[in-house]
A and B are shown apart, each in its own frame.
Chain A
């Protein structure tokens, strides 16, 4: 059993196919790791070890016949925003604390079809609203990384913080995430793993609890881009039950790893050199350019003039949609209910008790920007800004193939360093939000450690449905960066 926690998803897949290990062994090792370590990480909201063992047994039978899908027997974690049939799905909210969906999201159904084994549901910021996983009704997920000079608890980023922490600590071989304004990429960067936010419409939103419909996109999180590519290939695809799903074939993403970057034109958006960016982030970015240039790419400066408006535009658009999407949590058909003598009293009491502070704040702002007399000034203007932001990207992509930027303006911060001003907190998303606004794909790869030993990531942004070029460029960075560091808390480290 030695080395079982050294597997990547890809190498585990190969070992399962060649029967060097069994799915049951692999699954049990991960269940053990969860039991050992998740008390410290709180990355799971709901664990499903029994179901996982059953699924692993079934996978072994299939594998024994030489059959099975691309993920047959692979233990994964599922962000608790994807509805899973018969398994409690909470969105990390008290209001859905006991919700058991009688249906399966398309993304998780695709993974199950390919034979994946689900170990449970992963922590997140409530309704995916947050960048530090501090807004969870089930307590914060904790980053398995520590600063070299202190034992203080760091945040894993958010909103897919539980997914990031579980992958980084080796509790799962891969996880699903969702990204609305950076919720896959930023936690991936904070925990030293890879994550892809695909093109809007690439993965179905059916059965995934909505935050902001026009931005939400599911994607994979794993230790490297090869693993992400394998997961994405399974998760992606057209779904007639989602009107915004795009009917375009899913390519072999794994094959794109080997493409290389020779002759690739890599754009550096000059507006991303924001004021006050830490020198080590700037330095890492320069390093990334050098790596890609050395691998044969051409580095070109480009301009995305509306970058600085990305964040405020995002918050208006996303919160407006959220205020409406979250109206269904009213204590009548499912979820938390607080009794009251009148219908409105029931709504107000149930929603007051069921939603956390940040969710309430966001619903109220979203309600405000849509309300009578403010729609034109806020929502309509934001949608027009969104057009300008998208045009910036389309124009840049006339000249370059991908864009390279830092993923986040800092490494993981400590739980108690969370800014008290919500606007300061929102600035975490400054580099990730514009791609979400435009709907283009983007990924984050681990590229190095900061001065205190905490991982940092680089972001690549691509053309619509050109995840393959992103993966090729990202892999070039992976190879150059040779990021083999492990966090303090890891399944393969004996405690």
Chain B
């Protein structure tokens, strides 16, 4: 189903492209030896290179290049063995040298793609135009003084990857799915932590609208620096709506940069000297062109972890989980790893069921993550083993899991201590059933006269009498036998 917005002149389609700035995971900055770690006292993660002192020179960090290449491989993109750094010249308080070093003309990564899953179960391929390395800027602090802004250069010079998508996105949902998938891939490879609160992933959103069937793009606006997936979705919705209103009122949309105000739920023009922007890009003469070897790229490729799509396919094939289950299990590597530890040596399908159901519910309830789960993968596997070998039934298992979460004890210890072993002794089951049947002779008569639905009542009563420990299959079987006597 295509996403459409209905305006006063009929339906509209939206066209969206995203430029994502992802902070590279590295120890040191892109061109200096200062720490790239987030936080720190103001102006401490700053070298004289970052502060643009006279005579200071940039030297490229190898790991940042490797991270960009790994990411490119994860996006199934072209890796450019030749790339180059340019200077983007503009003045701003948090840009110490008066230029940002970026890859304008020759990015390190070319065309790639991201497969996104949509709510209706379909998948779409979103093209990636390019990925390039560049420096982050420092931070201006505006709220400490009535007349002055304060400058902290801790972020200045930290490596960023700018990942530019094709204008392939056709709905706010797709934009969200694209960002989630991109973040998932970056986290898998370990090239960006994807933490949007700390600003390690931010997006510039390019939005335009057009009538369905139009082949040309109309003028787009760029919404700068949106810092959460939810805000990306919201900003697309409100900006598309605004543009439709402009067109429908007979106006034209101006190409411009806008800001998203989530409080007012609107976008606002950044009219600030748009005319004065002329970045005067030219190759940075302090740096040589970046030339990398295919063999080095091959080495990085060989060392890449399994990526989300491949992992999903493998889990589906190896463990027989569904497409939906694989998508949930592969959201994070740690979840998939946990799952595989459980599933090896247990019923894999049962393991998926339990992970997606009671186990995640327990995590949610306790506010824990998979990394500090109160129940280990081995513990969960043991519990599932007790179900599979009929020591306990599924219902009892849920109680045992709750106990495990609370006490940290093992499943078998809880089962033993509380005497939760399932009753498989047909004699005991039979005598329990007989008591129920005697006590409910009226219901027995109704059942026999054709009220089949009462079978469930007898099962329930029997299980209740047996404190839930009756083997469900045996209980069913014995009930049928005795009721037909």
Q: Do chains A and B touch in the complex (CB under 8 A)?
A: yes
8 Å CB contact of B282 from A89, A333, A372, A375: A375
Is B286 interfacial (CB-CB < 8 Å)?
A: yes
- Across-interface contacts of A347 in B (CB, < 8 A): 91
Per-position binary interface string of chain A over residues 294-312, scored 1 when its CB falls under 8 Å from any chain B CB and 0 otherwise: 0000000000000000000
Q: Are A243 and B59 in contact (CB under 8 A)?
A: yes
Q: A102-B48, A375-B280 are in contact. Are A89 and B54 (CB under 8 A)?
A: yes
| 8 Å CB interface, A172-213 against B | 205-210, 212-213
Complex CA gap A327/B148 in Å reads 22
B290: min CB distance to chain A, Å? 10
Q: Are A206 and B57 in contact (CB under 8 A)?
A: yes
- Across-interface contacts of B98 in A (CB, < 8 A): 324, 327-328, 330
Quick one: closest B residue to A91, CB to CB? B54
Q: Are A83 and B54 in contact (CB under 8 A)?
A: yes
Q: Are B55 and A367 in contact (CB under 8 A)?
A: no
Quick one: closest A residue to B147, CB to CB? A341
Q: A102-B48, A327-B91 are in contact. Are A372 and B55 (CB under 8 A)?
A: no
- Across-interface contacts of B51 in A (CB, < 8 A): 333
Complex CA gap A330/B91 in Å reads 9
8 Å CB contact of A379 from B48, B282, B288: B282
Complex CA gap A446/B336 in Å reads 77
Q: A205-B55, A208-B55 are in contact. Are A244 and B286 (CB under 8 A)?
A: yes
Is B96 interfacial (CB-CB < 8 Å)?
A: yes
Q: Are A241 and B282 in contact (CB under 8 A)?
A: no
Interface residues of chain B: helix, strand, loop or mixed (majority): loop
Q: Are A327 and B285 in contact (CB under 8 A)?
A: no
Is B89 interfacial (CB-CB < 8 Å)?
A: yes
| 8 Å CB interface, A325-383 against B | 327-328, 330, 332-334, 343-344, 347, 367, 370-372, 375, 379
Is A464 interfacial (CB-CB < 8 Å)?
A: no
Is A426 interfacial (CB-CB < 8 Å)?
A: no
Is A251 interfacial (CB-CB < 8 Å)?
A: no
8 Å CB contact of B286 from A89, A243, A370: A243
- Across-interface contacts of B82 in A (CB, < 8 A): none
Complex CA gap A105/B48 in Å reads 13
A445: min CB distance to chain B, Å? 29
Number of interface residues of B (CB under 8 A): 30
- Across-interface contacts of A213 in B (CB, < 8 A): 285-286
Complex CA gap A323/B56 in Å reads 16
Complex CA gap A209/B52 in Å reads 11
Per-position binary interface string of chain B over residues 259-301, scored 1 when its CB falls under 8 Å from any chain A CB and 0 otherwise: 0000000000000000000101110011110000000000000
Q: Are B286 and A101 in contact (CB under 8 A)?
A: no
- Across-interface contacts of A330 in B (CB, < 8 A): 91, 98
- Across-interface contacts of B280 in A (CB, < 8 A): 323-324, 367, 370-372, 375
Interface residues of chain A: helix, strand, loop or mixed (majority): loop
- Across-interface contacts of B285 in A (CB, < 8 A): 212-214, 244, 321
Q: Are B97 and A205 in contact (CB under 8 A)?
A: no
Is B60 interfacial (CB-CB < 8 Å)?
A: yes
Quick one: closest B residue to A106, CB to CB? B55
| 8 Å CB interface, B220-266 against A | none
Quick one: closest A residue to B140, CB to CB? A343
- Across-interface contacts of A375 in B (CB, < 8 A): 280-282
Complex CA gap A379/B283 in Å reads 10
Complex CA gap A105/B53 in Å reads 12
8 Å CB contact of B53 from A82, A101, A242, A344: A101
A68: min CB distance to chain B, Å? 28
Complex CA gap A205/B282 in Å reads 20
8 Å CB contact of A324 from B55, B282, B287: B282
Q: Are A370 and B54 in contact (CB under 8 A)?
A: no
Q: Are B282 and A320 in contact (CB under 8 A)?
A: yes
Is B58 interfacial (CB-CB < 8 Å)?
A: yes
Q: A324-B280, A330-B98, A343-B93 are in contact. Are A241 and B59 (CB under 8 A)?
A: yes
A386: min CB distance to chain B, Å? 11
Quick one: closest B residue to A383, CB to CB? B283
Complex CA gap A266/B55 in Å reads 37
Quick one: closest A residue to B33, CB to CB? A241
Q: Are B89 and A370 in contact (CB under 8 A)?
A: yes
Is B70 interfacial (CB-CB < 8 Å)?
A: no
Is B188 interfacial (CB-CB < 8 Å)?
A: no
Q: Are B96 and A328 in contact (CB under 8 A)?
A: yes
Is B178 interfacial (CB-CB < 8 Å)?
A: no
8 Å CB contact of A103 from B53, B91, B92, B93: B53
Given contacts A208-B55, A332-B96, 16 further A-B contacts (CB under 8 A): A103-B55, A105-B55, A209-B54, A213-B285, A241-B57, A324-B98, A324-B282, A327-B97, A328-B52, A330-B98, A334-B54, A343-B93, A344-B91, A347-B91, A375-B281, A379-B282
10 CB < 8 A contacts A-B: A82-B55, A83-B54, A103-B55, A240-B59, A243-B288, A321-B285, A324-B87, A324-B282, A327-B91, A333-B53
